[in-house]
Amino acid sequence: MEINCKAKYYSGKSSETFIVDVKSKEDGLLIVFPNQQGKEFFWEKQKIKQIDISTILLTLRYGESFPFEQLEITDRDFISHYKSNYKVGILSRIQYSSLKHVLLFCILLIGIIWSIYAIVVPAITDYAADKFPKEYEIELGNKIKENILLTEKIDSPKTELINHFFNQLHIEKDYPINITVVKSPIVNAFAMPGGGIVVYEGILNGMKSKEQLAALLVHEFSHVQLKHATRNMFRSLAGYLFISIFLGDVSGISAILIQNANELRNLSYSRALETEADNNGMIILKNNKISTNGFVELFELLKNDSNSLKVNEILSTHPDLESRINNTEKFSEEHKYQISKNDSLEFYFKQIQGMK
């Protein structure tokens, strides 16, 4: 069946548009120029390339090399006929679509892949962290701590005192908590998987009360107890860990984490994890009848030192201090309790401060 229509023709050699008659033949398309004494071209069917097609527009290209000839057809009957007699499908459309459409398709595909990665991978790594055997987590934490402290100077007397201080809180815990004080002016503290906590002298030297120190330690303890440290490391190395998780290679996971141990110093917790650690820490202080104002004092200390280059690490891992102060004050309003004096905490705090 033959069918005719009007169309726009572009030679590819100029921007001029020609209105032509297009006649569908069994083996191709006959293009006639009515305003040029019946001049005509014939496009062989197998050499016609479909650029775009819809119910209202059909764009075709012809030629082996640049410049290409092109037709734009808007006749619905002709378009319907073309669909019935020529190769039309998603592969054909993608193959011959314009650069614009290809780019849009690629952007959409990348967006879908990224969305899957952003949702699925965190869920998988969180699941892996939660199911990571405790004995492996403790062993991993010990190796990470050993790796990190290789280049640090440990203050042994303060380390002993700060562990005594922490033990006075009588916290029920799932991990053997071990705190190390490092000789450094850096204002920082961070937790490691399995029970290790590192505290730098820079933050200790700025403290004015035992409540501040208690707030710092229960916060970092909460990161350990709630497996935040382990979960954060798993997430930060998700790409490397994915294959090990898929293969069920626990030793492979440990090796990757140990190799990247120093990244633990600068890992950023999400707002949700920071809030959870703060809230858990405040519950511990409440159970010990210690004022949660220690958290406010701790955050104020960090705010006051925020202009110092030495504070950059703790600020990078503990963002939005004002919001956390507000959260602490809200907790204090909702949980009224009697504050008790704790001579043991006061004793060890003064011992630590007396060794500046």
pLDDT for 121: 67
What backbone torsions phi and psi does residue 111 show, to the nearest 5 degrees?
-60, -40
Res. 90: pLDDT tops 50: no
Closest CA to 268 of 241, 228, 222: 228
pLDDT for 356: 65
Q: Token digits for 184?
A: 């450094």
Res. 186: pLDDT tops 80: yes
CA 224 to chain centre: 21
**Residue 198 contacts by C-beta under 8 Å, 6 or more apart in sequence?**
145, 148, 149, 152, 179, 180, 182, 189, 190, 192
According to DSSP, the residues that pair with 22 across neighbouring strands are 5, 31
- Provide mean pLDDT across the span 244-265: 53
Out of 9-23, 71-85, 258-272, least confident range = 258-272
Q: Average pLDDT over the chain, rounded to whole? A: 82
**CATH topology (fold) of 4-97:** PH-domain like (2.30.29)
Q: Edge-to-edge, what's the strand order for the sheet holding 189-191?
A: 178-182, 196-200, 189-191
Out of 212-216, 217-221, 256-260, least confident range = 256-260
36-67 burial code (b ≥16 CB/10 A, e <16) = eeeeeeebeeeebebbbbeeeebbbbbeeeee
Closest CA to 186 of 161, 153, 160, 217: 153
Instruction: Pinpoint the residues of the chain covered by CATH 2.30.29.30.
Output: 4-97
CB of 195 closer than 8 Å to CB of 177: yes
pLDDT for 19: 92
pLDDT for 86: 75
